[in-house]
Amino acid sequence: MPYVDGLVAAVPTANKQKYIAHAEQAAVIFREYGVLQSVECWGDDVPDGEITSFPMAVKYKDDESVCFSWIISPSREIRNATIGKVRQDTRLHPDHNPLPLDGMRMIYGGFEMIVDHCQQTAGKGCRMRKYLLTAVVLMLMLASGCQSKWVRLDGASVEDSRLEKARQACRVDRKLAALARAEDDSDRNLATTTSNEARMLVKDDFDLVRRQVYAEIDTCMQRHGFRRLD
């Protein structure tokens, strides 16, 4: 499931070009670590509020502008790994590449994607993004059959060749690929279903299919002497 990080910050208006340059460099580095999309937005119609507002949230000053950003990762797991890698990347270290803003007034958080209207439209760009996300999910699911996920039942060390033969015999990659396609079909059904009861049935049907697929894989792999770590 795609995972979204949202950020709001107050940036000195005079630093707009510096901010853009910094954001473009950061976006390239984020992509290296698995991020799908980075979007930076410069405040244009951001009203003050009486109780709360974007300007109030970041305590912006008269010579500053409010910026709103979001970053989309294939999953929360990849997002968490990306954060750890970015923190260690010297290209973004404040000593070498200082933020052109007051980071103490930045607000941010991670969010699970619950509605993606783009998936419900016929636009070419939306379809391409949907295909990209599906491909990423498929690669992640295929990776779930890698060596680090399996151990020998007899406690012996795992041999790559023996594990690969077991995975081929159990058709692990093929079953996970079919499961990814089933998830894509389930997402399309959810996008066209308005009834909450019907949506629950669609989700329950896919959950049942997923449990069955993993149960088949686990049973077959156990016959070949392996069990799943997780």
DSSP string, 157-195: PPPHHHHHHHHHHTTHHHHHHHHHHHHHHHHHHHHT---
Tokens of 207: 């959950």
For residue 175, the model assigns a pLDDT of 82
Residues of the chain with CATH 3.30.70.100: 3-112
Is the pTM value of this prediction over 0.95?
no
CATH classification number, 3-112, choose in 3.40.50.2300, 3.30.70.100, 3.40.50.12780, 2.40.50.140: 3.30.70.100
| C-alpha closest to that of 133 among 82, 59, 183, 194 | 183
139 pLDDT more than 60? no
The pLDDT of residue 125 is 54
Q: Which residue has the higher pLDDT, 185 or 9?
A: 9
Mean model confidence pLDDT for the chain: 82
For residue 83, CA distances in Å to 6, 76, 89, 153, 219 come to: 14, 10, 10, 35, 36
d(CA 85, CA 79): 10
Which of these ranges, 28-42, 100-114, 123-137, 216-230, has the smallest mean pLDDT?
123-137
Kindly report the backbone phi and psi dihedral angles of residue 204, in degrees, each rounded to the nearest multiple of 5, phi listed first: -65, -40
CA 33/CA 50 separation, integer angstroms: 40
Structure token digits, residue 199: 């949506």
pLDDT band, residue 143 (cuts 50/70/90): very low
Long-range contacts of 151-156 (CB under 8 A, 24+ apart): 151/226, 151/227, 151/229, 152/225, 152/226, 153/222, 153/225, 153/226, 153/227, 154/225
At residue 171, does pLDDT exceed 60? yes
Q: What is the DSSP string of 43-62?
A: -SS----SS--HHHHHT--T
Length of the chain: 230
Q: What pLDDT, on the 0 to 100 scale, is given for residue 136?
A: 52
Q: pLDDT per residue over 101-113, tens digit each?
A: 999 999 999 998 8
Structure confidence by residue, pLDDT tens digits, 64-81: 999 999 999 888 888 998
Confidence of residue 210 (pLDDT cuts 50, 70, 90): confident
